[in-house]
Amino acid sequence: MLSVFTWRFLKPGMLFVFFAAAGCEKFVEPDAPATSVNEENVYKSDATAIAVLTGIYARMATNGLFTGSGGISFLSGLSADELTLAGVVTENRLIAYYRNELRTTPNENYGIDVWRDIFYYIFQSNAAIERVGNATTLSASVKQQLLGEARFMRAFFYFYLVNLVGEAPLVLTTEAAINAVLPRSPVPVVYQQIVADLKEAQQLLSENYLNKDLQIYAGTPERVRPTKWAATALLARTYLYLADYANAETEASKIIDNNPRFSLPALNNVFLKNSDEAIWQLQPVQAARNTEDAFTFTLPVTGPNATANPVYLSPQTLHAFEPGDGRRKGGNWIDSVIVSGTNYFYPAKYKATTASGAASEYLMVFRLAELYLVRAEARAQQNNIGDARDDLNTIRTRAGLPGTKANDKASLVTAVLNERQVEFFTEWGHRWLDLKRTGNVGAIMSVVTPLKANGRAWQSYQQWYPVLYNDILLNPRLSQNSGYQTP
């Protein structure tokens, strides 16, 4: 993977594109070849320019930073209190995440996955913004949509970088000489860019789901290309994280009120491909596979193991569910296997690990339930207790639970956060990021970390993942997060 400081080694004028073969309603064909092409030619036709952004989504859907055993859902679940790492695991990287013992030195790098990998995607987004923006032969509608997708994706990648690592270089160009000496920008400055990109994306992106040619679907749409609603969902989340509750409520309402495009299906229909709840999904691209999350989290009858299935749900996650919660019921969002008298519970949101034909499940990135809980929290913070309760109860009702008993600001905010824990477990780092943004990470992890790390105490710096040691060597203007080794 390329980091921000190794882009200087990119071959000038070359771009790696994940080409999609022609197909009926397919977004990208399994095992489509990664092809090196001359960058000047890529942006001369609609088809090849579209393939650049398609390539980003296809790469995200493989077993990398965004799904499977290397994904944010998995790694942050280890860092937080969501997952238990099987005792048979010997992989140092996984043990370091689980015990909150990340480190980066000249000889060891455990915990630099986000920093190392995400700049590759930021570079690809920047390249698309620059080249599509300067293209003169693309159709106007394709140019507009691709610019919107690239802006949205850059905001998406920076959202996770700033929340997992903290301060970050604000890389807005493909110029290697500029990028190689950038310092880390303060978190508020990075957020300003995220908001700006998302507002621009809202104006550029289509309201409709578009096919691989960026045309409106004739039949059932695949929800696998970003739309205006994906940008709106991330903007609502961003405003919530910034404690801008009025704007968080406004943006969330735009999606909640967008019926019948989005609705809340039954629990076991939520994570199917093109679910009514889906705002944006990633389509699996590996042959004979559904999502990499299903492949990683679903336990075989033999239980957890040291390689493909190394985790199961923690006691903290299981105990967070109220009695009668349908999400907790076996066969819904949690399932289990019994091995030698021990019951191992595992996430079962995605149930299909393999696919003999078309995939039945797509990886959910944004879904409607999040917007209900964003709005509930935002309304509670503004003392709009009645409407906040209604939003929270919408999610509780689907889970088969009675209405919340919370009836004031403090208790209602707590109730929403509890609901987020059981609604979004093992999804996109929600639990880890919620603990951090609310200031609760110390209280929770000071109890959990000693249980995971053989009694070793939690330290506050461990909530941030490190900056790659070698990148600091390359760029003296870079700083390391407190607590980690510096050159």
Q: Does residue 6 have a pLDDT over 90?
A: no
Question: Worst-scoring range by mean pLDDT, 37-51, 170-184, 271-285?
Answer: 37-51
- In angstroms, the CA 240 to CA 139 distance is 36
Question: Worst-scoring range by mean pLDDT, 33-42, 180-189, 272-281, 441-450?
Answer: 33-42
63 in a structural domain: yes
Q: Does residue 362 have a pLDDT over 80?
A: yes
Alpha helix positions (H), 264-314: 292-297
Parent domain of 391 = 7-285+363-471
Q: What is the pLDDT of residue 170?
A: 98
332 in a structural domain: no
Q: What is the pLDDT of residue 36?
A: 42
148 in a structural domain: yes
Cα diameter, the chain: 66
Q: Which of 472, 476, 449 is nearest to 101 (CA)?
A: 449
Mean pLDDT confidence for 71-96: 98
Q: Which residues have C-beta within 8 Å of that of residue 452, sequence separation ≥ 6?
A: 85, 98, 99, 100
Could you tell me the pLDDT band of residue 27, with boundaries at 50, 70 and 90?
A: low
DSSP state letters, 146-168:
HHHHHHHHHHHHHHHHHHHT-SB
Q: What is the pLDDT of residue 14?
A: 44
Question: Worst-scoring range by mean pLDDT, 19-23, 332-336, 358-362, 436-440?
Answer: 19-23
Could you tell me the pLDDT band of residue 389, with boundaries at 50, 70 and 90?
A: very high
Q: Does residue 357 have a pLDDT over 80?
A: no
Could you tell me the pLDDT band of residue 41, with boundaries at 50, 70 and 90?
A: confident
Torsional sign, CA 188, 190, 194, 195: positive
Q: Which residues have C-beta within 8 Å of that of residue 136, sequence separation ≥ 6?
A: none
Chain length of the chain: 487
Q: What is the pLDDT of residue 356?
A: 74
350 in a structural domain: no
Q: Does residue 324 have a pLDDT over 50?
A: yes
293 in a structural domain: no
Q: Report the number of distinct structural domains present in the chain.
A: 1
Q: What is the pLDDT of residue 87?
A: 97
- In angstroms, the CA 133 to CA 153 distance is 15
Q: What is the pLDDT of residue 289?
A: 83
Domain containing residue 36: CATH number: 1.25.40.390
Q: Which of 116, 114, 140, 145 is nearest to 128 (CA)?
A: 145
The answer to whether 299 and 312 are in contact (CB under 8 A) is yes
Structure tokens of 341? 């008298």
Q: Does residue 83 have a pLDDT over 50?
A: yes
110 in a structural domain: yes
- In angstroms, the CA 82 to CA 115 distance is 22
Angle at the Cα of 431 from the Cα atoms of 229 and 426, rounded to 5 degrees = 80
> Which amino acid, one-letter code, is at 79?
S
Q: Does residue 34 have a pLDDT over 50?
A: no
Q: Does residue 93 have a pLDDT over 50?
A: yes
Could you tell me the pLDDT band of residue 15, with boundaries at 50, 70 and 90?
A: low
Q: Does residue 307 have a pLDDT over 50?
A: yes
Q: What is the pLDDT of residue 26?
A: 55
Structure tokens of 188? 């508020």
pLDDT digits (tens, 9 = 90+) for 457-474: 999 999 999 999 999 999
- In angstroms, the CA 472 to CA 310 distance is 32
Structure tokens of 165? 């690592």
- In angstroms, the CA 329 to CA 306 distance is 27
Structure tokens of 308? 């493909």
For the chain, percent of residues with pLDDT exceeding 90: 87
Mean pLDDT confidence for 41-62: 95
Q: What is the pLDDT of residue 29?
A: 44
94 in a structural domain: yes
pLDDT digits (tens, 9 = 90+) for 192-232: 999 999 999 999 999 999 999 999 999 999 999 999 999 99
259 in a structural domain: yes
